[in-house]
Amino acid sequence: MTHVSIDPRTPRGADLADLVKRSVALIERLQHPQGAYPASPTFSAYRGYSWFRDGAFIADAMSAAGAVDSASRFFDWCGRMLAAHADEVAEIVAAEAAGSPLPDDRMLPTRFTLDGSAGDDDWWDFQTDGYGTWVWAAVAHARRHGLSLERWAPGIRLSVDYLLATAHRPCYDWWEEHADQVHVSTLGCIIAGLDAAVDSGVLASATAARAAAAAAECRALMIDRGTHDDHLAKWLGSTAVDASLAAVVAPLRVIEATSPLGLASIRAIDDALNVDGGVHRYLDDTFFGGGQWPLLSCMLGLAYAAAGDRERAHAQLAWAARTETAEGMLPEQVGEHLLAPDREQEWIDRWGSVATPLLWSHAMLVRLAVELGVAGAPAAAVVDASTEGAS
What are the residue ranges of helices labelled H in 226-291? 245-249, 260-273
7 is catalytic: no
What are the residue ranges of helices labelled H in 153-283? 153-166, 184-200, 205-225, 245-249, 260-273
256 is catalytic: no
- Please select the residue that binds ligand BGC; options are 176, 195, 242, 270, rule is CB under 6 A: 176
Closest residue to ligand BGC, Cβ-based? 39
Buried b / exposed e across 9-47, counting CB within 10 Å, b at 16+? eebeeeebbbbbbbbbbbbbebbbeebbbbbbbebeebe
- Please select the residue that binds ligand BGC; options are 174, 282, 288, 293, rule is CB under 6 A: 174
Shortest separation between residue 109's beta carbon and ligand BGC, angstroms: 12
How many residues bind ligand BGC, per CB under 6 A? 10
311 is catalytic: no
Binding mask 69-98 for ligand BGC (x = CB under 6 A): ------------------------------
According to DSSP, residue 85 is labeled T
37 makes contact with ligand BGC (CB under 6 A): no
Contact predicate 185/195, CB 8 Å: no
Shortest separation between residue 285's beta carbon and ligand BGC, angstroms: 10
125 makes contact with ligand BGC (CB under 6 A): no
Question: What is the footprint of ligand BGC within residues 344-373 (CB under 6 A)?
Answer: 358, 360
Of the residues 60, 176, 242, 285, which is catalytic? 176
Contact predicate 44/352, CB 8 Å: yes
How far, in Å, are 64, 77, 138, 322 from residue 59 at the CA level? 8, 11, 8, 23
For residue 290, give the 3-state DSSP assignment: coil
53 makes contact with ligand BGC (CB under 6 A): yes
- Please select the residue that binds ligand BGC; options are 17, 27, 51, 374, rule is CB under 6 A: 51
- Please select the residue that binds ligand BGC; options are 16, 17, 54, 277, rule is CB under 6 A: 54
Q: DSSP states of 339-391 as a string?
A: S-GGGHHHHHHHH-SPPSS-HHHHHHHHHHHHHHT-TTHHHHT---GGG----
Contacts to ligand BGC by CB under 6 A? 39, 46, 51, 53-54, 174-176, 358, 360
Query: Catalytic site residues?
Result: 173, 176, 332
